[in-house]
Amino acid sequence: MRAYERLLNYVKVHTTSDPNTGAHPSTARQFDLARQLVEELKALGLADAHVDEHCYVYATLPATPGQEAAKPLGFIAHMDTTDDASGENVQPQLHPNYDGGPVTLPATGMVLDPETFPFLKEMKGQTLITTDGSTLLGADDKAGVAEIMTMVERVQAENRPHGKLCIGFTPDEEIGEGASLFDVEHFGAAYAYTVDGEDVGEISYENFNAAAAIVTVHGFSVHPGSAKNAMRNAQNIAIEFHQALPAFSRP
């Protein structure tokens, strides 16, 4: 099966995470894709494939003869999608032999214009996969999931020599909790790649790092007649606080 065919299947499984539940995983629906992937991995010969109580999928592909001494290599992707837009009832659209021009999404009339998204110009002649405009697509990171699953299939079908391969699929990456309960020792890799990038052929050797904070600013209200040097505007204080953050670190 081609990677894009798997992607078209996976995006139809609703796996949106939720930053407000406090649960792990944040939404039970992420188990739907996790269980599907476990069954697919077992069908591909990874007999130890399983999902734990926190919705982390683990599986290993044993080393081929003569490669047992190689350090185990891991591949990781996340199953959840962001809650910035709906991830339910996704209707993927294929645009074969893309002509390099604007793409209209049928459900909403929204337009993906190369002038706004210059990378589209590099896609000319290829097949684009988009949403219909009513939901997100979910390629972040179900494309990564599809690529890993296809890799597992191909290395076996093509009899490629390899060391032990460790496969991991995680929940809740979009809310910053994807690694919270990931069992690194159980995963078993000496090195691992997260398949969640952008440009073809691009490898990032440093990870993105960020933190969230809720800042509450209290002003001080005084009657305008006696407000001089006493009243404090909370908005102005918030602006001063934001401007005091390092210029290259603040959002």
CA-atom Rg of the chain in angstroms: 23
173 is catalytic: yes
pLDDT tens figures, 124-179:
999 999 999 999 999 999 999 999 999 999 999 999 999 999 999 999 999 999 99
Instruction: Report which of 119, 118, 92, 115 is spatially closest to residue 198, judged by C-alpha positions.
Output: 119
Sheet holding 165-170, edge to edge: 50-51, 57-61, 165-170, 73-78, 191-194
Q: Which domains does the chain have, with CATH numbers?
A: 3-90+135-194 (3.40.630.10), 213-251 (no CATH)
Question: Which candidate in 172, 173, 174, 177 is catalytic?
Answer: 173
80 is catalytic: yes
Give the torsion sign (CA, 28, 2, 111, 90).
Answer: negative
Question: Which candidate in 40, 80, 141, 172 is catalytic?
Answer: 80
pLDDT tens figures, 221-233:
988 888 888 899 9
pLDDT mean across residues, the chain: 95
Instruction: Report which of 196, 104, 190 is spatially closest to residue 144, judged by C-alpha positions.
Output: 196
CA dihedral 143, 48, 173, 202 (to 10 degrees): -40
Task: State if pTM tops 0.85.
Answer: yes
